[in-house]
Amino acid sequence: MRIFLAMAVIGLAGCASSPVPPDWQFNAHGSLKNSVTAYLVGNSKLADVEFARVRTEIASTGRADLLARAELVRCAAQVASLEFNNCEPFQALARDAAAEERAYADYLAGRWAGLNTALLPAQHRAVVAGAGVTLNTIDDPLARLVAAGTLLQAGRLTPDAIAVAIQTASDQGWRRPLLAWLGIAARRAEQSNDKEEIARLQRRIDLISNSGIPVR
Protein backbone atom coordinates (compact mmCIF):
# COMPACT_ATOMS: atom_id res chain seq x y z
CA MET A 1 0.00 0.00 0.00
CA ARG A 2 2.88 2.36 0.72
CA ILE A 3 3.61 3.15 -2.94
CA PHE A 4 0.18 4.53 -3.68
CA LEU A 5 -0.21 6.31 -0.38
CA ALA A 6 3.16 7.90 -1.07
CA MET A 7 1.89 9.19 -4.40
CA ALA A 8 -0.89 11.04 -2.63
CA VAL A 9 1.29 12.18 0.22
CA ILE A 10 4.05 13.66 -1.96
CA GLY A 11 2.15 16.90 -1.92
CA LEU A 12 0.59 16.35 1.49
CA ALA A 13 3.87 15.94 3.34
CA GLY A 14 6.15 17.87 1.05
CA CYS A 15 4.51 21.27 0.95
CA ALA A 16 5.09 22.20 4.58
CA SER A 17 7.78 24.82 5.17
CA SER A 18 8.28 23.89 8.81
CA PRO A 19 9.50 20.61 10.38
CA VAL A 20 6.02 19.99 11.83
CA PRO A 21 3.38 19.68 9.07
CA PRO A 22 -0.06 21.20 9.67
CA ASP A 23 -2.87 19.09 11.04
CA TRP A 24 -4.67 18.73 7.73
CA GLN A 25 -1.76 16.73 6.30
CA PHE A 26 -1.81 14.22 9.15
CA ASN A 27 -5.59 13.99 9.01
CA ALA A 28 -5.72 13.54 5.24
CA HIS A 29 -2.97 10.91 5.27
CA GLY A 30 -4.56 8.91 8.08
CA SER A 31 -8.02 8.99 6.54
CA LEU A 32 -6.67 8.02 3.12
CA LYS A 33 -4.89 5.01 4.57
CA ASN A 34 -8.00 4.02 6.52
CA SER A 35 -10.19 4.42 3.44
CA VAL A 36 -8.02 2.17 1.29
CA THR A 37 -7.78 -0.48 4.00
CA ALA A 38 -11.54 -0.45 4.62
CA TYR A 39 -12.21 -0.80 0.91
CA LEU A 40 -9.84 -3.73 0.48
CA VAL A 41 -11.29 -5.67 3.41
CA GLY A 42 -14.77 -5.12 1.99
CA ASN A 43 -16.24 -2.25 4.02
CA SER A 44 -17.34 0.28 1.40
CA LYS A 45 -19.36 2.36 3.85
CA LEU A 46 -16.37 3.02 6.09
CA ALA A 47 -14.16 3.58 3.05
CA ASP A 48 -16.52 6.28 1.79
CA VAL A 49 -16.72 7.95 5.21
CA GLU A 50 -12.93 8.08 5.50
CA PHE A 51 -12.50 9.37 1.98
CA ALA A 52 -15.04 12.11 2.59
CA ARG A 53 -12.71 13.25 5.39
CA VAL A 54 -9.81 13.23 2.95
CA ARG A 55 -11.75 15.50 0.61
CA THR A 56 -12.65 17.86 3.45
CA GLU A 57 -9.06 18.16 4.64
CA ILE A 58 -7.62 18.71 1.17
CA ALA A 59 -10.41 21.12 0.21
CA SER A 60 -9.21 23.39 2.99
CA THR A 61 -6.04 23.99 0.96
CA GLY A 62 -7.77 24.76 -2.34
CA ARG A 63 -5.36 22.27 -4.01
CA ALA A 64 -7.19 20.32 -6.70
CA ASP A 65 -3.93 18.62 -7.66
CA LEU A 66 -3.69 17.03 -4.21
CA LEU A 67 -7.26 15.83 -4.40
CA ALA A 68 -6.52 14.33 -7.82
CA ARG A 69 -3.66 12.35 -6.27
CA ALA A 70 -5.90 11.07 -3.51
CA GLU A 71 -8.54 10.02 -6.04
CA LEU A 72 -5.86 8.14 -7.94
CA VAL A 73 -4.97 6.18 -4.81
CA ARG A 74 -8.60 5.15 -4.43
CA CYS A 75 -8.78 4.21 -8.10
CA ALA A 76 -5.69 2.00 -7.71
CA ALA A 77 -7.40 0.04 -4.93
CA GLN A 78 -10.43 -0.41 -7.19
CA VAL A 79 -8.29 -1.71 -10.06
CA ALA A 80 -6.62 -4.13 -7.64
CA SER A 81 -10.12 -5.40 -6.85
CA LEU A 82 -11.10 -5.57 -10.55
CA GLU A 83 -13.60 -2.75 -10.29
CA PHE A 84 -12.94 -0.70 -13.39
CA ASN A 85 -14.53 2.73 -13.80
CA ASN A 86 -11.96 4.69 -15.82
CA CYS A 87 -11.01 6.55 -12.62
CA GLU A 88 -13.91 8.94 -13.25
CA PRO A 89 -13.42 11.03 -10.07
CA PHE A 90 -9.79 11.55 -11.07
CA GLN A 91 -10.74 12.44 -14.64
CA ALA A 92 -12.85 15.31 -13.33
CA LEU A 93 -9.68 16.73 -11.75
CA ALA A 94 -7.17 15.68 -14.39
CA ARG A 95 -6.59 19.18 -15.76
CA ASP A 96 -5.03 20.14 -12.43
CA ALA A 97 -3.01 16.93 -12.06
CA ALA A 98 0.65 16.53 -12.93
CA ALA A 99 1.75 14.62 -16.02
CA GLU A 100 2.89 11.71 -13.83
CA GLU A 101 -0.58 11.30 -12.36
CA ARG A 102 -2.26 11.50 -15.76
CA ALA A 103 0.09 8.83 -17.07
CA TYR A 104 -0.62 6.64 -14.07
CA ALA A 105 -4.37 7.01 -14.63
CA ASP A 106 -3.89 5.82 -18.22
CA TYR A 107 -1.84 2.91 -16.93
CA LEU A 108 -4.59 1.94 -14.49
CA ALA A 109 -7.18 2.05 -17.26
CA GLY A 110 -5.12 -0.15 -19.56
CA ARG A 111 -4.58 2.67 -22.06
CA TRP A 112 -1.01 1.68 -22.82
CA ALA A 113 -0.77 2.67 -26.50
CA GLY A 114 1.46 5.70 -26.69
CA LEU A 115 1.86 5.80 -22.91
CA ASN A 116 4.99 7.63 -21.74
CA THR A 117 6.20 4.93 -19.38
CA ALA A 118 9.05 7.12 -18.15
CA LEU A 119 6.42 8.92 -16.07
CA LEU A 120 5.40 5.73 -14.25
CA PRO A 121 6.89 4.20 -11.09
CA ALA A 122 9.71 1.83 -12.05
CA GLN A 123 7.90 -1.44 -11.34
CA HIS A 124 4.97 -0.40 -13.51
CA ARG A 125 7.23 0.66 -16.36
CA ALA A 126 8.48 -2.91 -16.42
CA VAL A 127 4.94 -4.28 -16.45
CA VAL A 128 4.01 -2.22 -19.52
CA ALA A 129 7.26 -3.11 -21.27
CA GLY A 130 6.64 -6.80 -20.65
CA ALA A 131 10.37 -7.24 -20.17
CA GLY A 132 10.13 -10.61 -18.46
CA VAL A 133 8.73 -9.00 -15.35
CA THR A 134 6.81 -11.19 -12.93
CA LEU A 135 4.39 -9.92 -10.33
CA ASN A 136 6.43 -11.52 -7.58
CA THR A 137 9.21 -9.03 -8.29
CA ILE A 138 6.93 -6.21 -7.08
CA ASP A 139 7.48 -5.90 -3.34
CA ASP A 140 4.43 -3.88 -2.37
CA PRO A 141 1.29 -6.10 -2.16
CA LEU A 142 -1.13 -3.46 -3.40
CA ALA A 143 1.16 -2.47 -6.25
CA ARG A 144 1.33 -6.17 -7.19
CA LEU A 145 -2.46 -6.47 -7.30
CA VAL A 146 -2.78 -3.23 -9.25
CA ALA A 147 -0.30 -4.53 -11.82
CA ALA A 148 -2.35 -7.71 -12.16
CA GLY A 149 -5.51 -5.66 -12.67
CA THR A 150 -3.90 -3.56 -15.36
CA LEU A 151 -2.62 -6.67 -17.11
CA LEU A 152 -6.19 -7.97 -17.19
CA GLN A 153 -7.45 -4.75 -18.73
CA ALA A 154 -4.63 -4.74 -21.27
CA GLY A 155 -5.36 -8.34 -22.26
CA ARG A 156 -1.99 -9.61 -21.05
CA LEU A 157 -3.01 -11.57 -17.98
CA THR A 158 -1.47 -15.03 -17.55
CA PRO A 159 -2.57 -17.95 -15.32
CA ASP A 160 0.56 -17.41 -13.22
CA ALA A 161 -0.42 -13.79 -12.63
CA ILE A 162 -3.87 -14.87 -11.45
CA ALA A 163 -2.30 -17.26 -8.95
CA VAL A 164 0.01 -14.52 -7.65
CA ALA A 165 -2.90 -12.10 -7.29
CA ILE A 166 -4.93 -14.64 -5.34
CA GLN A 167 -2.03 -15.45 -3.04
CA THR A 168 -1.27 -11.77 -2.47
CA ALA A 169 -4.85 -10.87 -1.55
CA SER A 170 -5.11 -13.96 0.66
CA ASP A 171 -1.86 -13.20 2.49
CA GLN A 172 -3.07 -9.67 3.27
CA GLY A 173 -6.60 -10.71 4.26
CA TRP A 174 -8.06 -8.37 1.64
CA ARG A 175 -11.44 -9.98 1.04
CA ARG A 176 -12.63 -7.75 -1.79
CA PRO A 177 -9.78 -8.36 -4.26
CA LEU A 178 -9.51 -11.98 -3.13
CA LEU A 179 -13.12 -12.69 -4.09
CA ALA A 180 -12.63 -10.88 -7.38
CA TRP A 181 -9.53 -12.85 -8.33
CA LEU A 182 -11.00 -16.15 -7.19
CA GLY A 183 -13.90 -15.35 -9.49
CA ILE A 184 -11.51 -14.87 -12.41
CA ALA A 185 -9.83 -18.19 -11.63
CA ALA A 186 -13.20 -19.94 -11.37
CA ARG A 187 -14.25 -18.67 -14.78
CA ARG A 188 -10.99 -19.93 -16.26
CA ALA A 189 -11.60 -23.32 -14.65
CA GLU A 190 -15.13 -23.42 -16.07
CA GLN A 191 -13.83 -22.68 -19.54
CA SER A 192 -11.50 -25.66 -19.30
CA ASN A 193 -14.18 -27.79 -17.62
CA ASP A 194 -11.86 -28.52 -14.69
CA LYS A 195 -14.52 -29.65 -12.23
CA GLU A 196 -12.10 -30.39 -9.41
CA GLU A 197 -10.61 -26.92 -9.63
CA ILE A 198 -14.04 -25.31 -9.86
CA ALA A 199 -15.09 -27.08 -6.67
CA ARG A 200 -11.88 -26.10 -4.87
CA LEU A 201 -12.24 -22.46 -5.78
CA GLN A 202 -15.91 -22.43 -4.84
CA ARG A 203 -15.04 -23.76 -1.39
CA ARG A 204 -12.70 -20.82 -0.90
CA ILE A 205 -15.30 -18.36 -2.15
CA ASP A 206 -17.92 -19.84 0.16
CA LEU A 207 -15.57 -19.66 3.14
CA ILE A 208 -15.06 -15.93 2.58
CA SER A 209 -18.71 -15.24 1.78
CA ASN A 210 -19.97 -17.15 4.83
CA SER A 211 -17.46 -15.64 7.25
CA GLY A 212 -20.09 -13.37 8.74
CA ILE A 213 -18.24 -10.27 7.50
CA PRO A 214 -19.93 -9.33 4.21
CA VAL A 215 -18.08 -7.64 1.39
CA ARG A 216 -20.25 -4.67 0.53
Predicted confidence at residue 163, as pLDDT, reads: 94
> How far is Cα 71 from Cα 104, in angstroms, rounded to an integer?
12
Give the pLDDT confidence of 162-193 residue by residue, as tens digits: 999 999 999 999 999 999 999 999 999 999 99
Give the pLDDT confidence of 112-160 residue by residue, as tens digits: 988 999 998 888 888 888 755 678 888 899 999 999 999 998 888 888 9
Q: What is the pTM of this model?
A: 0.89
Is pLDDT of 17 > 60? no
What is the residue type of 203? R
What is the torsional sign of CA 45, 172, 29, 115? negative
Mean residue pLDDT of the chain comes to 88
CB burial string 173-191: b at 16+ within 10 A, e below = ebbbbbbbbbebbbebbee
Q: How confident is the model at residue 207 (pLDDT cuts 50, 70, 90)?
A: very high
In this structure, are residues 127 and 147 in contact, taking their beta carbons and an 8 Å threshold? yes
> How far is Cα 105 from Cα 91, in angstroms, rounded to an integer?
8
